[in-house]
Amino acid sequence: MGDLNANTRWQSTGDPRLDKAVHQWLTWDKNERTRAQVECLVAARRLDELRLRLCSRLSFGTAGLRAPMGAGFNRINDLTVIQSTQGLYSYLCRCSADFSSRGIVVGFDTRGQEESGCSSHRLAKLTAAVMLSRDVPVHLFSTFVPTPYVPYAVKKLGAAAGVMITASHNPKEDNGYKVYWCNGAQISSPHDEEILQSIEEQLEPWSASCWAEELVESCSLRTDPLPHIDRCYMDELASLCFHRDLNRSCPLKFVHSSFHGVGHVFVQRAFHAFGFAPPIPVPEQKDPDPNFSSVRCPNPEEGESVLELSLLLAERENAHIVLATDPDADRLAVAEKSDGCGWKVFTGNELAALLGWWMLLNWKEAHPDPADTQGVYMLATTVSSKILQAFARVEGFHFEETLPGFKWIGNRIHELSKAGSSVLFAFEESIGFMCGSLVPEKDGVSSAAVVAEMAAYLHEQNLSLHQQLLNIYQTYGHHVSKTSYVVCNDPPTIEKIFSRIRNFDAEASYPKKCGGVRIVRTRDVTTGYDSSRDDLRSRGVRSTGGAREDHRRPAGRVPGAREEQPDSPLRLAPPPVPPVDDVTSCCVPLLLLSVVSIKFSLDYFHTQ
């Protein structure tokens, strides 16, 4: 195929399209390890693997660009991060007149992969190098930070955008590139599509400077925002503290696991900001470890099976509450010791009920006039529990739902803020919570401190978190949720599933029953169908990709499903699910990088 820039010769694959992709990769990639991966695949004639890696590209999902690390145009690596940053730069030049003076914020978590030579820190420095090579100021954090620090810094510093290198709670093989707009929210349509188009137009690295990690040390346009941002964040976090004296004397003990990620130092500081003694760290999981060596998967949402070390430590220390942040500290899991009943691990929907109640309780104490609720909102994604809607009906504030993914919540918060309204609380059922308006993103650090204070307050009232949850249900109606996962790798199968749902008994006819229970409302967000409306048109949220359906049953049972980026290609449902005929009436897929994750969510509520 001829000489390439590194004097590497290779034999044609016999596929012109694949040959072009191989040539581009070996010409452009300066990372010796990922170059070697492609060269080995070519030498071994592993053409299917080469096509998989080189003949498709990354796309934005519910949490940015996310994929395994390693060689390939559809993987996270040096080259694809440089390409993505070039595309982001070009797009910002077109739509932000003062971009070159405002600059961008860049943060990273603790992930890394030896075989590809990729780490979040290295990828963050390459992101910065691309921008610095074009004389754009870069606020690059000097060490790993929680994901919420990036959108917080974007707003605080007035930056044009932010980039966080993280794959959150995904398996150790993965990494990601999450982009925030100047409003602090993750990018959504049309920015995501237009940035992808801009990336396609900027595939070849501009110059050797794009690979120059040393630029972040030598260029005067690079600053470290960490001291200023950390101080401001903790100062503003204190505004969510309502009972500091009570916290100082709190007899409860808290255990915290950072799941080998970034959370330890920041949660300790958050507890200090609230007046608490520091939580007891899980020693095996306190320090960063890109292999996540003590957990089978780094996702605290999985519950007791991944909280084993935390619960054992809590038993030894006679601690009552376990808090676990995921590796980038944007999500929070909570468990509470129950007298004689072991441990109660709360679901995301249960925690949302508690946090929503808590934020409203303290807001009402500061705003006793009921009329003040007219400018107050709480938000949730459409697949989440409708408990906040029940709150709103009783308390008089506004509730709205968004499409799945906190990017939709963050952008809606920006719109409401511009209109003079305030958002007290927002959540998605996958243990992502936003308390107050500190940052328009889910935040495990602030949520951990808020949960601790809520537990301290309830303990003073001789109540546990679980007991208060039951009290909430008595007041606002019972809501019970069950979530599970199914993964499918075959897009035609997914098409058949949804064709079956939408043409169940006849053409354009949705199911009338699920598990023997009558369905009283069906909403198909993808097609814009809503059986409860006279014109059959769905209002509010609407999906432009993937698929999403709700089926509402008598007494308010809502099986729903959402499009999501899969954490793992083998993420199967451990809990029992309905029979096959019933499963098809409440499932929804995501097609991303040839992997489809179907997430089932059943929210049952009964109003008193």
Residues taking part in catalysis: 168
* DSSP H helical ranges for 553-593: 580-583
DSSP state of 340: T
Q: Which of 512, 597, 606, 594 is nearest to 561 (CA)?
A: 597
Q: CA-to-CA distance for 462 and 456, rounded, in angstroms?
A: 10
Kindly state the tokens that stand for 322: 């376990």
* Whole-angstrom distance, CA of residue 583 vs CA of residue 570: 19
The answer to whether the CB of 487 falls within 8 A of the CB of 597 is yes
Report how far residue 36's alpha carbon sits from residue 127's, in angstroms, rounded to the nearest whole number: 23
Q: Which residues pair with 107 in a beta bridge?
A: 164
Report d(CA 360, CA 363) in Å as an integer: 5
DSSP letter assigned to residue 209 = G
| Distance, CA of 80 to chain centre | 21
> What phi and psi values does residue 550 have, to the nearest 5 degrees?
-120, 145
Beta bridge partners of 432: 428
Q: In what order do the strands lie in the sheet with 161-165?
A: 65-68, 174-181, 161-165, 104-108, 138-140, 222-223
Contact 526, 576 (CB under 8 A): no
- Report the C-alpha gap between 517 and 555 in whole angstroms: 10
Residues 247/241, Cβ–Cβ less than 8 Å: yes
Does the CA dihedral 518-430-414-183 come out positive or negative?
negative
Place of tokens 């602090």: 184
Q: Report which residue type is found at 561.
A: A
What is 87-149 written as a DSSP string?
A: HHHHHHHHH-TTHHHH-EEEEE-S-EETTTTEEHHHHHHHHHHHHHHTT--EEE-SS---TTH
Q: Detail the DSSP E strand segments found in 489-588.
A: 513-514, 517-518, 521-524, 529-530, 549-552, 558-562
Distance CA(30)–CA(209), nearest Å, equals 12
Cis status, amide bond into 190, omega within 30 of 0: yes
Q: Are 481 and 604 in contact (CB under 8 A)?
A: yes
**Are the CB atoms for 153 and 96 separated by under 8 Å?**
no
Inter-residue contact 118 to 112 (CB < 8 Å):
yes
State the pairing for strand pair 118-119/112-113: antiparallel
**Is the Cβ–Cβ distance between 119 and 290 less than 8 Å?**
yes
- For residues 106 and 225, what is the distance between their CA atoms, to the nearest angstrom? 10
The CA distance from 536 to 528, in Å, is 8
Report the interhelical angle of 444-460 vs 226-237 (nearest 10°).
30
The answer to whether the CB of 260 falls within 8 A of the CB of 295 is yes
* CA 338 distance to own-chain centroid: 30
